[in-house]
Amino acid sequence: MSQLIAPHGGKGLTCCLLEGAELDAEKKKAEGLKKISISPRIKGDLIMMGIGGFSPLTGFMTKADWKSVCDDFLLADGTFWPIPVTLDASKSDSDAINIGEEIALYDPEGDEIMATMKVTEKFEMSEADKKYECEKCYMGEGTPTTEEFWKIAGDDHPGVQMVMEQKEINLAGPVKVLSESDYPEKYAGIYQKPEEARKIFEDRGWKEVAALQLRNPMHRSHEYLAKIAVEVCDGVFIHSLVGNLKPGDIPAEVRVKCIDSLVKNYFVEDKVVQGGYPLDMRYAGPREGLLHATFRQNYGVSRMIIGRDHAGVGDFYGMFEAQTIFDKIPTPTEAGKALLCTPLKIDWTFYCFKCDGMASLRTCPHSKEDRVLLSGTMLRKGLSEGKDLPDHFGREEVLDILREYYSNLTEKVEIKTHSAATGN
């Protein structure tokens, strides 16, 4: 019997991905169904439902689910869930679909039908509804009033822009997933289903597993966080996002190359597992930190490393708001419905010249003038602008990989940083 944490929701891994003859039959049927084009974000959500990463979800949310998640961090049945997972459609497409009808969900970028879905509900998402979702799920302590939030969110917050650009109607219902897209081939050895990650952890005899979420290349602070986790858990799961990012973020294949270099040269290899998952970033800060913990539980992870400004954007969130939100969420008492993956909260980390090593605000008594402040965003900003990085910002092996990547870029994107990341 597995010693790993149970999947979220109390139903085991709920996998909607079809296989074998059932898959062949559903693909054939899908060709004759009405087709709805889906966004890259929805494509990632579908794959996560397919492989069990979003257990216990088996389809897109109803209006009752959407409202309850926004207001109370709970699905309508009382299961913890931190952020809406919805399918938008245009009004004209929606009007052509009847309740109870099956439709095909089509990925225009990959020219592929990703899933079929039985439509059980249609509900309007007015501009006011979209703003409500943004204020509930994307507004943080960095913009304490709604007025301040909307002054800048429409232009500067990619997650808010994503919500506001959604079409007028949401479709709800269960899905049958037909494809994992090109992730298994493109990221062979990195992309994993939850059951595959769990088997690796079980084969190593791990019980307590910590996850390090990555959308940036690993710098010295990330390395330090991972090594703290190895000290207190059986091992660390370096789990990179391999879905879509915002302009200026570094592609997954480059980040994977950087991690490979670090693990090979600076870690005890049998204490580290590298993996990748197919979601797009939502840039929802604290709420996204909760989502990261929720689906990591399905991968067998019991501790989610939460450092400063987790999944943040600019100054929208407090530097440690993604830590404190874990203390405020509901804890359903019904078996399996509460979030069991707990945060491993780690303070601001940096290289200190006087300490002569990595340290945190809890361990280092020196002034900020003695410290090299480490930030993935600052790393990207410095490299993209061709600046010299301070000593001890990153491992030279990693920086060489990144410098090569940036030297071949023909288009540069302005990279915005949290004001605290510069020491201000």
In three-state form (DSSP H/G/I as H, E/B as E, the rest C), the secondary structure along 365-405 is: CCCHHHEEECCHHHHHHHHHCCCCCCCCCCCHHHHHHHHHH
Q: At what angle do helices 396-407 and 376-384 cross, to 10 degrees?
A: 50
Burial class (CB in 10 A: 0-12, 13-18, 19+), 344: buried
Neighbours of 307 (CB within 10 A): 24
Catalytic residues: 215-216
DSSP letter, residue 52: T
* Six-digit token string for 211: 């996850």
- Alpha-carbon torsion 300, 305, 311, 317, what sign? positive
Q: 33 near 100, Cβ under 8 Å?
A: no
| CA 220 – CA 84 distance, rounded (Å) | 34
Q: How far is CA 150 from CA 145, 282, 340, in A?
A: 9, 18, 34
| CA 140 – CA 317 distance, rounded (Å) | 5
* Six-digit token string for 246: 């915002």
Tens of pLDDT along 399-411? 889 888 888 876 6
pLDDT at 118: 98
- 68-77, 174-183, 327-336, 385-394: least confidently modelled range: 385-394
| CA 262 – CA 219 distance, rounded (Å) | 9
User: Which of 211-220, 257-266, 316-325 is most confident?
Assistant: 316-325
The pLDDT confidence band at residue 55, using thresholds 50, 70 and 90, is very high
**Who wins on pLDDT, 405 or 180?**
180
Q: How far is CA 326 from CA 43, 45, 232, 338, in A?
A: 28, 23, 20, 12
Task: Give strand pairing partners of 60.
Answer: 173
Task: State yes or no: pLDDT of 223 exceeds 80.
Answer: yes
The pLDDT confidence band at residue 337, using thresholds 50, 70 and 90, is very high
Instruction: Indicate the Cα dihedral angle 125, 131, 133, 137, nearest 10°.
Output: 160
The pLDDT confidence band at residue 251, using thresholds 50, 70 and 90, is confident
* Six-digit token string for 404: 């090569």
Tens of pLDDT along 269-295? 999 999 999 999 899 999 999 999 999
- Alpha-carbon torsion 152, 278, 304, 232, what sign? negative
The pLDDT confidence band at residue 212, using thresholds 50, 70 and 90, is very high
Neighbours of 361 (CB within 10 A): 12
Give Cβ neighbours of residue 42 (< 8 Å, ≥ 6 apart): 87, 88, 105
| CA 369 – CA 353 distance, rounded (Å) | 9
| CA 422 – CA 331 distance, rounded (Å) | 36
**Who wins on pLDDT, 389 or 83?**
83
| CA 146 – CA 150 distance, rounded (Å) | 6
**The CATH classification of domain 20-125+166-181, taken from the options 3.10.400.10, 3.20.20.70, 3.20.20.120, 3.30.870.10:** 3.10.400.10
| CA 217 – CA 254 distance, rounded (Å) | 8
Task: State yes or no: pLDDT of 415 exceeds 50.
Answer: no
The pLDDT confidence band at residue 82, using thresholds 50, 70 and 90, is very high
The pLDDT confidence band at residue 250, using thresholds 50, 70 and 90, is confident
What is the average per-residue pLDDT within 119-133? 98
Q: Count how many Cα atoms sit within 13 Å of the Cα of residue 308 in the half-sphere of its side chain.
A: 21
Task: State yes or no: pLDDT of 249 exceeds 80.
Answer: no
Q: Which residue has the tokens 């993996």?
A: 275
Average pLDDT, the chain: 92
CATH architecture of 190-277+281-422: 3-Layer(aba) Sandwich (3.40)
pLDDT at 374: 63
What is the average per-residue pLDDT within 84-94? 98
Helix and strand tally (H, E) in the chain? 15, 15
* Six-digit token string for 233: 């858990």
The pLDDT confidence band at residue 373, using thresholds 50, 70 and 90, is confident
Task: State yes or no: pLDDT of 344 exceeds 80.
Answer: yes
pLDDT at 3: 95
Helix (H) or strand (E) holding 328: none
pLDDT at 215: 78
**For the chain, what percent of residues have pLDDT higher than 70?**
94
Amino acid at 316: F
Is it true that 20-125+166-181 and 190-277+281-422 share their CATH fold?
no
**Who wins on pLDDT, 312 or 324?**
324
Q: Where are the domains of the chain?
A: 20-125+166-181, 190-277+281-422
* Six-digit token string for 60: 């897109």
The pLDDT confidence band at residue 217, using thresholds 50, 70 and 90, is confident
What is the average per-residue pLDDT within 61-70? 98
pLDDT at 246: 63
Query: For the whole model, what pTM was predicted?
Result: 0.92
Q: Which of 109, 137, 126 has its CA nearest to residue 164? A: 126
